[in-house]
Structure formats: structure tokens, C-alpha cells
């Protein structure tokens, strides 16, 4: 197989900008990424790479900015068809929109239809890896992984487990949650680029018995991730207190049942108590910021200061509670929420969150999320002049950050000049 040399502007990181500042980024105005057998073989200036690899096939993206593919660390692919539904907060959203739609996923044909549509949408927006919640139906997990495998995506997901406070047709039991999750884990985990994630939806829809069963499963497969929701809305937290009166706080409902650990990924985490923050930091767990969702359903303002406090933080669309499939729009929303909290996120921080930050949160940073030799060549190329409004602003830029920021704030799928999965252009 002939090596491929992608040419353009290149932006990579040699550190964490939340810790090391924007200087952690390295920008080559005329750089390149050498791709060999689906992996990154070298990164550097265009001239150096051309001289070192004269037989590589060049693919010139001009002034396009080459980045790692975007990584969406928390999504609900079964909610694809109900995105942008009007006027509900979390609990009403679930009852009015989410649960009726999720009942349809016992039909393998419908699950396959939505999985196909979902991956069409995210790839069009430059997202090359997704961690998704499915439904309680094993068919929903099979459809997601089958479609991801067909396309060659790195993808993570799990059966969403619920045995209370959900309608008929969307409840399993402690035993079936364990049995189905174990069977799906054995079937899909580690197959090609796929990873199974143990997935209780959240404490209000799982009895203590089901949480304990999933905690037991996680103890048997500690290398797997476990994903769930935490402290998204104040009325949700009050509900948790009423359901678990013995718990010290929301996080304790997971911790007491074996669902707190270094491979735990907790979505939203907006209204955390000091004890919860301390415990999350102590065990090395990850949080996922879902800014368009948090504003769309009125949840609150995530504290991005946690990202610089030895807690891994990823970024996510949370579709369909989130209002966009685009990680560019998600970065823009993260910036806006940061401003409301008095913390203007730097463009370096935003790009890092959507790439290496999310990869670290999902424990896949040894595979994707960085432009570094040996990693899988999942890449996105951004057109930094994709619309007249963006182009006129970028034309005044004196730095890469001034050129990139208008695309973060105003860009959409038109800004995605190319997407590569394991070195193959999508």
C-alpha cells in the first residue's frame, strides 16, 4: 500500500492547554501528516516530509487545517429523529419525547435505519468517534455497532439499562440488564474498532438491585468503560434524594453499588457537591461537558475550571437533548457557557476538548485524538473560509487562533473539507 501524505496547515498538541496554556499547541502553516496502513506515520513540515518520503502520494488540502477527527464523548443515537423538540426540561423531555421514540428500537430494521442516518450526520460534521447510549433493546446495540463496523469507525456504546420509572416496553430487570449487557459485551467489545460500555441510564431509572448488578458486571470487566448521567438538573437531584434517602449525594448512589471508578464516564455533572468533586478526582473518573444540551433543556452552566484540576473532561453533543450533531457548534456553546461563568475558553482549549480531551475521557487516547506517530489516522480537514461571513473575518487574522475562532463560532458542516477514517477519505 502506498503511503499518503496529507498537506495543509497542521495543528497538534504536545500538552494539555488547560494545564500548559495555548503554548501546548504546535502550528505548521505548511505542514503534513504521513499516513501508512491506516495509521499516522509522521507529522511535520511539508518540505521535511516530502524530502523524507518522496514516494508518498500527496493529497494537498491547500490552506485547510488538518486536525484529529472530532470525538463526541456522550450521545444518544436513538434520539436522532427527535432532535430539536420543543420546550421540555429533563424529566418531561424523557417522558414526552425520548421514551416513546426509544420504544421503537425493538425493531431491528428501524434501529438500523436510524444508525445509518446518525453516522451519516456525524461524519458529515467531522466526527470520527462517538460514545453513545443505545436503548434497552439489544437490537439497538447491534444496529449501532454493525453500522459503525461497516464504515470502519472507532465507536463505543452500550445497552441502556432501566428497571423503574420508565414506561412498559422500556424496562428490563436487574438480571436481564446483567445478562444482556454481558452477552453484548462478549459479542462486540474489542471487535475491530468497537468498545462496549456498561450503561445504566441514571439512578432514577434503576433500582438499587439493578445498579448493583451492573456494578458486579463492571467488576468482572474492569477494562470496560461505564457511562451514566450525574447531576444534570436540580429537580433531578431532588428526585434522586427522594429515591435514595440513605445516599450522601447523587454520586454516592453509584459509588454504593460499585459504579464509581477510574473508567467511569459521567455526563453533565453540572451541580456537583464538594465531596463529589473530591471523590471523582480521587478515583480518576471522567466528566463530559454537554453544552448545547445543558442550555437547550435549561440544565445549568458546567464549571470548566474542573478541566484544570486533575479531572479528565471531554466534550459532547448529547444529541438529541443537545441541539446539534456538530462538534463545532458544541465548541461554540462551550465558549458561550464559559463566558457566562466568567471564563473565556481559548480556541486551543476548545479544539483540545473535542479531540484529545474527549479521547482521554474515554480512555482511547492511545488510539485516536492526537496527531502523533502510531495513532490511527482519523482526521478532519477544516476549511477556515467556508462561508462569506467566516472568510471575511478570518482574512483579518494575524494568528492561527484568530483564523480558527470564526470557524469554531460560526462553522457547520460546510467547514468540513474532508474526513478520514483510518486514513481512508470518507
Segment 154-171, tens digit of pLDDT: 999 999 999 999 999 999
Work out the pLDDT band at 218, boundaries 50, 70, 90: very high
Chain centre distance of CA 339: 22
Segment 247-255 shows an average pLDDT of: 98
Q: What is the structure's pLDDT at 1? A: 77
pLDDT of residue 90: 77
CATH, domain range 4-68+371-425: 2.30.40.10
Would you state the pLDDT for residue 135?
98
pLDDT at 146: 98
**Cα–Cα distance, 201 to 206 (Å, whole number):** 8
CB 35 within 8 A of CB 41: yes
Taking only the tens place, the pLDDT of each residue in 287-321 is 999 999 999 989 999 999 999 888 999 999 999 99
pTM beyond 0.85, yes or no: yes
Average pLDDT, stretch 199-215? 98
Which CATH fold would you assign to the domain 70-361? TIM Barrel (3.20.20)
CA 233 – CA 108 distance, rounded (Å)? 33
Model pLDDT, residue 187: 98
Where does 14-88 show beta strands of DSSP type E?
25-36, 39-45, 57-68, 70-76
Q: Tell me, what's the pLDDT at 309?
A: 81
CB atoms within 10 A of CB 425: 12
Domain boundary assignment for the chain: 4-68+371-425, 70-361
Band (pLDDT 50/70/90 cuts) for residue 260 is very high
Q: What confidence tier does 235 reach under pLDDT thresholds 50, 70, 90?
A: very high
| 135/132 Cα distance (integer angstroms) | 10
- Look at residue 360 in the predicted model and tell me its pLDDT: 98
Q: Which of 234, 283, 274 has its CA nearest to residue 254? A: 283
Q: Is the pLDDT of residue 411 over 80?
A: yes
Per residue in 46-69, pLDDT (tens digit) is 999 999 999 999 999 999 999 999
Say what the pLDDT of residue 131 is: 98
Structure confidence by residue, pLDDT tens digits, 267-278: 999 999 999 999
Q: How confident is the model at residue 93 (pLDDT cuts 50, 70, 90)?
A: confident
pLDDT (0 to 100) of residue 377? 98
| Average pLDDT of span 138-153 | 98
216-223 mean pLDDT: 98
**How high is the pLDDT of residue 88?**
78
Distance between CA atoms of 14 and 25, rounded to whole angstroms? 6
Percent of residues in the chain assigned helix, strand, coil, to nearest 5: 45, 25, 35
Q: Which of 94-103, 191-200, 203-212 shows the lowest mean pLDDT across its residues? A: 94-103
The cell numbers describing 7, all together, are 498537506
**Residue 250 in this model has a pLDDT that exceeds 80:** yes
- pLDDT category at 385 given cuts 50, 70, 90 is very high
Amino acid at each position: 500500500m502506498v503511503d499518503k501524505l496529507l498537506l495543509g496547515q497542521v495543528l497538534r498538541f504536545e500538552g494539555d492547554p488547560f494545564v500548559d496554556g495555548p503554548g501546548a499547541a504546535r502550528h505548521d502553516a505548511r505542514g503534513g501528516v504521513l499516513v501508512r496502513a491506516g495509521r499516522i506515520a509522521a507529522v511535520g513540515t511539508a518540505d521535511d516530509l516530502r524530502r523524507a518520503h518522496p514516494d508518498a502520494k500527496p493529497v494537498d488540502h491547500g490552506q485547510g487545517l488538518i486536525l484529529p477527527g472530532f470525538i463526541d464523548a456522550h450521545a444518544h443515537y436513538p434520539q436522532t429523529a427527535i432532535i430539536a423538540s420543543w420546550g421540555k426540561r429533563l424529566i418531561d423531555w424523557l417522558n414526552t419525547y425520548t421514551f416513546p421514540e426509544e420504544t421503537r428500537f425493538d425493531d431491528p430494521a428501524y434501529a438500523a435505519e436510524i444508525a445509518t442516518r446518525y453516522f451519516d450526520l456525524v461524519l458529515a460534521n467531522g466526527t470520527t468517534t462517538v460514545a453513545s447510549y443505545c436503548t434497552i433493546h439489544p437490537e439497538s446495540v447491534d444496529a449501532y455497532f454493525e453500522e459503525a463496523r461497516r464504515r470502519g469507525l472507532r465507536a463505543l456504546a452500550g445497552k441502556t439499562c432501566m428497571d423503574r420509572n420508565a414506561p412498559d416496553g422500556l424496562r428490563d430487570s436487574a438480571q436481564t440488564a446483567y445478562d444482556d449487557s454481558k452477552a453484548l459485551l462478549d459479542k462486540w467489545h474489542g471487535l475491530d474498532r468497537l468498545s462496549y460500555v456498561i450503561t445504566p441510564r441514571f439512578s432514577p431509572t434503576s433500582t438499587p438491585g439493578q445498579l448493583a448488578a451492573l456494578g458486579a458486571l463492571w467488576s468482572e470487566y474492569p477494562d470496560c468503560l461505564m457511562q451514566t448521567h450525574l447531576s444534570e438538573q436540580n429537580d433531578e437531584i431532588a428526585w434522586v434524594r427522594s429515591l435514595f434517602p440513605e445516599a450522601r449525594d447523587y454520586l454516592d448512589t453509584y459509588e454504593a453499588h460499585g459504579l464509581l471508578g477510574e473508567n467511569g464516564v459521567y455526563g453533565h455533572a453540572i451541580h456537583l457537591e464538594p465531596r463529589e468533586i473530591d471523590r471523582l478526582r480521587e478515583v480518576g473518573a471522567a466528566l463530559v461537558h454537554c453544552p448545547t444540551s445543558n442550555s437547550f433543556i435549561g440544565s445549568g452552566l458546567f464549571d470548566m475550571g474542573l478541566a484544570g484540576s486533575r479531572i479528565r473532561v471531554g466534550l459532547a453533543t448529547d444529541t438529541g437533548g443537545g441541539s446539534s450533531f456538530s462538534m463545532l457548534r458544541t465548541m461554540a456553546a462551550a465558549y458561550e457557557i464559559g463566558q457566562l461563568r466568567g471564563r473565556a475558553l481559548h480556541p486551543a482549549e476548545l479544539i483540545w476538548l473535542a479531540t484529545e480531551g474527549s479521547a482521554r475521557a474515554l480512555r482511547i487516547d492511545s488510539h485516536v485524538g492526537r496527531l502523533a506517530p502510531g495513532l490511527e489516522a482519523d482526521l478532519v480537514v477544516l476549511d477556515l473560509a467556508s462561508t462569506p461571513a467566516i472568510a471575511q473575518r478570518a482574512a483579518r487574522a494575524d494568528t492561527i487562533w484568530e483564523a480558527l475562532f470564526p470557524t469554531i463560532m460560526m462553522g457547520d458542516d460546510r467547514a468540513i473539507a474532508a474526513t478520514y477514517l483510518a486514513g481512508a477519505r470518507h
